[in-house]
Structure 1
Amino acid sequence: MSRNVLERVLWQLSVERPAKERFREDPEGFLSRFDLTDEEKAMVLNFDVKAMQELGVNAMLTMGFWQEMAPNRSMRLYKEKLGATDEQTAGFSAALKGSN
């Protein structure tokens, strides 16, 4: 697993317009340029921000990726994907430390 490569992918998808366009047109083709495992590619394709954070990916990068690229950019849904409780979805946090 390469946390650094995942972080580079998420950074590009958060800030680089050409990368966003390539990913939207051909997500798997875009990801093929990076040295990612099949599991890591699946995390990106499925917007599995919890699994990425569990690997140590920076929470601000997962949040930026979500806000820019997720089909449903709801922050409530983002926090639910991280395993947030109803109480936790009411506040702001890029990561939920200690939640299962």
Structure 2
Amino acid sequence: AYTGYYCPGCGGTRATFALLHGHLIRSFVLHPFVPYTAVFGGWFMLSQTLQRISRGRLHIGMHFRPLYMWLALAIIVVNCIVKNMLILFCGIHLLK
């Protein structure tokens, strides 16, 4: 049996695949950064595009804030720690 631990990016590809197939909860379990990025990144792109197409008449453009990057980093770190603690203390491998 494989006894290794997960890196911070483990599960990202599987989470992307799950999200693209409409499995939001599975995607979140595999790697919560993927749905976070899909929601915030998607809204950022859509809102900026609509604001630019309307030539500023629609003031809905989401602006970049450093907080978004700190949240993303926190999600990645917490995800890695939780998954590895589940392996270490409970023997549970979420990515199998």
TM-score, normalised to structure 1, is 0.24
TM-score, normalised to structure 2, is 0.24
Name the larger-Rg structure.
2
